[in-house]
Amino acid sequence: MTALAGVKVVCVGQFYFAPYCSMLLARLGADVIKIESPAGDPYRRLSGAEPDGSSLQFAMINSGKRAMKLDLSSPGGQEVFRRLAAQADVVVQNLSPGAMDRFGIGYEALREINPRLIMASGTGFGSFGPYAGQPAMDLTVQARTAVMSTTGYEDGPPTRTGPSIVDFIGGAHLFGGIVAALYQREQTGHGQHVEVALQDAILPSLSSNIAGLINSGGAMPERTGNRHGGLAVVPYNAYRSSDGWVTVLCPTQAHWDRLRRIMDDPAADDPRFATMDGRCDAAEDVDRVVERWTSTLTKEQVLEALKGTGIPAAPVLTLSEVLEDEHIAARGVLRRMHDDAGDWITLGNPLFLSDSPTVEPTRAPRLGADTAAILRDELGFDDAEIESLRTAGAI
């Protein structure tokens, strides 16, 4: 059986944060109902929409879920939501701060209906502290948490990371909190409120940068390009090859000694390079020696030369190359699917459990596709009541 078989999840989230968390739950077997306003998740309407009117970004994150259209600002929509929460194991939400409470469906209200309910709230900055309640998106959290200040080169401007790391790291943290709360509920019989703030989730990833700044007495530049975030490991960089770029790093003295022998360059025997501290002080000179070697070889030749040495190295792939990478295809985390409607692409399951099969993703649902069925089959509404909710604009 799947790990989360029988777990019912209601997701009131948009963009990537809560939707990615609920996607992980769905891939492990949870039944996820995605609640959307009558206008739909804003990410349905990004440029380059698919034939069904949804963007590929939305489809990748929301495949394998059911969709229900519900106006939570209306009394009818709020009543439907309460009835859903009464049957649910988990409610996941990342609406604007305070929205759930304003609608009368915050955690304190819902726990009165369902004491076993776990509510997982994704926020930008949490429910307490000076920034509590401020709206947040991936970019603004990167700005306020020094991710942008530490990305790029010293003489360049602050730069956002290529991927939306804040939303996805936050979603993974929220998933972990939910699983922990489900486990605790098995012992206590009671649910609880799980909160993950994006700023809290991303801050630990800056550990090397923070340590480097403190250890240098504030002298270290915040942006270190492709070098180690704390400037504490050399070599550690992307180096030119004859056909592109390749990354090479030597986290220990043994790694450097092996690389030095492979490069067979007298300049690598410079006494300044004999220790990690010395190499860090002479990082530019070390990089010149390493790149003099890599630039005479192709990326594959560099990797072949380092094969079996334990020296971490990898080619710098383009996004197009990643889409065709055989290892990524073998792992199945990026899935190319086919059904009666044609070919489509989505995300698989990055969580591998030996005794729990993953759930095959299905296409992301159309806006409100399952609304009537959920109302009728699971909440007990009859046709007249459903039509009344529709007329009132609640669904």
The residues annotated as belonging to the active site are 167
Tens of pLDDT, residue by residue over 251-279, are 999 999 999 999 999 999 999 999 999 99
Query: Tell me, what's the pLDDT at 47?
Result: 66
Lowest-confidence pick of 39-48, 162-171, 326-335 = 39-48
**168, two tokens:** 């996805």
Categorize the per-residue pLDDT at 45 as very low, low, confident or very high, splitting at 50, 70 and 90: confident
For range 162-173, the mean pLDDT: 97
Categorize the per-residue pLDDT at 341 as very low, low, confident or very high, splitting at 50, 70 and 90: confident
Tens of pLDDT, residue by residue over 348-372, are 999 999 999 989 999 999 999 999 9
State how far the Cα of 185 lies from the Cα of 90, in Å rounded to an integer: 11
Query: Tell me, what's the pLDDT at 94?
Result: 95
Considering the chain, what is the average pLDDT of its residues? 95
Strand partners for 9: 32, 90
Tens of pLDDT, residue by residue over 116-153, are 999 999 999 999 999 998 889 999 999 999 999 999 99
Q: What's this model's pTM, rounded to 2 decimal places?
A: 0.93
Whole-Å CA distances, 143 to 38, 195, 343: 32, 21, 38
For range 195-222, the mean pLDDT: 95
Residues of the chain by 3-state class (helix, strand, coil), percent to 5: 45, 15, 40
Query: Tell me, what's the pLDDT at 133?
Result: 86
Give percent of the chain above pLDDT 70: 98
Task: Give the CATH number of domain 226-316.
Answer: 3.30.1540.10
Categorize the per-residue pLDDT at 97 as very low, low, confident or very high, splitting at 50, 70 and 90: confident
Q: How many whole angstroms from its chain centre is CA 275?
A: 37
E-strand ranges in 228-367 read 236-241, 244-249, 313-315, 334-339, 342-347
**261, two tokens:** 């022998």
Q: Are 121 and 193 in contact (CB under 8 A)?
A: yes
State how far the Cα of 265 lies from the Cα of 289, in Å rounded to an integer: 8
Res. 54: pLDDT tops 90: no
Query: Tell me, what's the pLDDT at 188?
Result: 98
State how far the Cα of 349 lies from the Cα of 24, in Å rounded to an integer: 7
Give percent of the chain above pLDDT 90: 93
Dmax (CA) for the chain in angstroms is 86
Q: Are 31 and 7 in contact (CB under 8 A)?
A: yes
Query: Tell me, what's the pLDDT at 281?
Result: 96
For range 190-194, the mean pLDDT: 98
For range 276-298, the mean pLDDT: 98
State how far the Cα of 93 lies from the Cα of 8, in Å rounded to an integer: 14
**267, two tokens:** 């300049």
Categorize the per-residue pLDDT at 50 as very low, low, confident or very high, splitting at 50, 70 and 90: low
- Which contacts qualify for 262-268: CB closer than 8 Å, 24 or more apart? 262/293, 262/305, 262/306, 262/309, 263/289, 263/290, 263/293, 265/289, 265/292, 265/293, 267/292
CATH number, domain 8-203+329-392, options 3.40.50.10540, 1.10.10.10, 3.90.1150.10, 3.40.50.720: 3.40.50.10540
State how far the Cα of 2 lies from the Cα of 6, in Å rounded to an integer: 9
State how far the Cα of 377 lies from the Cα of 175, in Å rounded to an integer: 28
State how far the Cα of 285 lies from the Cα of 287, in Å rounded to an integer: 5
CB neighbours of 149 closer than 8 A, spacing ≥ 6? 158, 222, 223
Tens of pLDDT, residue by residue over 235-254, are 999 999 999 999 999 999 99
| Per-domain boundaries in the chain | 8-203+329-392, 226-316
Q: Residue 4: in which H helix or E strand, if any?
A: none
Q: Are 25 and 90 in contact (CB under 8 A)?
A: yes
Given the DSSP bridges, would you call strands 342-347 and 334-339 parallel, antiparallel or unpaired?
antiparallel
